[in-house]
Amino acid sequence: MRLTVLGCAGSFPSAHSPASSYLLEHDDHRIVLDLGSGAFGALQRHADPYRLDAVVLSHLHPDHCADLCGYYVAQAYHPDGPRPPVAVRGPVGTADRAAAMFGMRAEPGMRGAFAFADHGPAYEIGPFRIETTPVVHPVPAYALRVSAGGRTLVYSGDTAATPALVEAARRADLALFEASFLQSGQNAPGVHLTAREAGEHARAAGVPRLVLTHLVAWNDPAHSRAEAAAAYDGELHLAEPGATYAV
Ligand SMILES: [Zn+2]
Ligand SMILES: [Zn+2]
């Protein structure tokens, strides 16, 4: 699998990155994990949005799904006519949320442009097998374990510290974990990981590579990296827009 970071800014777009979005490619198939604010532009830089197998949403906060709105316009108003629906997998209520973001009636909402389906515990999209694990966040949120070609990536989505994330990530090849908080911060409980916790969870899961993401603009990335490195001795990266990883 090839992972391309489309956006890695936490909670809101930063001056140099869209909010959360990650392109996964394998065997001429491609899915996008999350499509946060600003990410649809970056998607067009790295892939043809009309050749996407699916968008897979970790949860329905705007920094993870807001650019369904731009994607909808590109689908529905293409000069050659409406494009075939793109699959969108997400938490229960994704179709209604998408319609509400655009000020549409819930029916049909964006159903002409997207084929919505609820996650369920596991499913396949082309060569990708996706397993979902509920994690800890103020709204229903899922860690996404994605396997293809015998390799596995686990994306935390947004979550507070939880053994469920360790289980979801067990012996994966790459952990893409959020690191919104720093240990020194005034951190609201039950919302996000600190960079140190991201490192601890990846170490406990036995994952050899960790990419820290959902990096919030007001944190010093070097500080986040140092905090994670103190708890994790594998290969450690900070996500950057446009960065690619062979998983
Ligand atoms: Zn977020
Ligand atoms: Zn969130």
- Give 114 Cα–ligand 2 centroid separation in angstroms: 22
- Give 216 Cα–ligand 2 centroid separation in angstroms: 12
DSSP string for residues in 183-238: TTS-PPTTT--BHHHHHHHHHHHT-SEEEEE-B-TTS-HHHHHHHHHTT--SEEEE
- Give 104 Cα–ligand 2 centroid separation in angstroms: 23
Ligand nearest to the CA of 11: 1
For the whole prediction, is pTM greater than 0.75?
yes
- Give 14 Cα–ligand 2 centroid separation in angstroms: 16
Residues with CB under 5 A from ligand 1 (ion): 63, 158
Ligand nearest to the CA of 140: 2
* pLDDT tens, position by position, 162-182: 999 999 999 999 999 999 999
- Give 58 Cα–ligand 1 centroid separation in angstroms: 9
- Give 236 Cα–ligand 2 centroid separation in angstroms: 23
CB atoms within 10 A of CB 191: 15
- Give 27 Cα–ligand 2 centroid separation in angstroms: 31
**Can you tell me the distance from the alpha carbon of 196 to that of 202, in angstroms, rounded to the nearest whole number?**
10
- Give 68 Cα–ligand 1 centroid separation in angstroms: 15
Domains of the chain: 2-246 (3.60.15.10)
Tokens at residue 138, please? 């103020």
Residue with tokens 């594998």: 234
Beta bridge partners of 121: none
Residue pLDDT tens, the chain, 247 long: 999 999 999 999 999 999 999 999 999 999 999 999 999 999 999 999 999 999 999 999 999 999 999 999 999 999 999 999 999 999 999 999 999 999 999 999 999 999 999 999 999 999 999 999 999 999 999 999 999 999 999 999 999 999 999 999 999 999 999 999 999 999 999 999 999 999 999 999 999 999 999 999 999 999 999 999 999 999 999 999 999 999 9
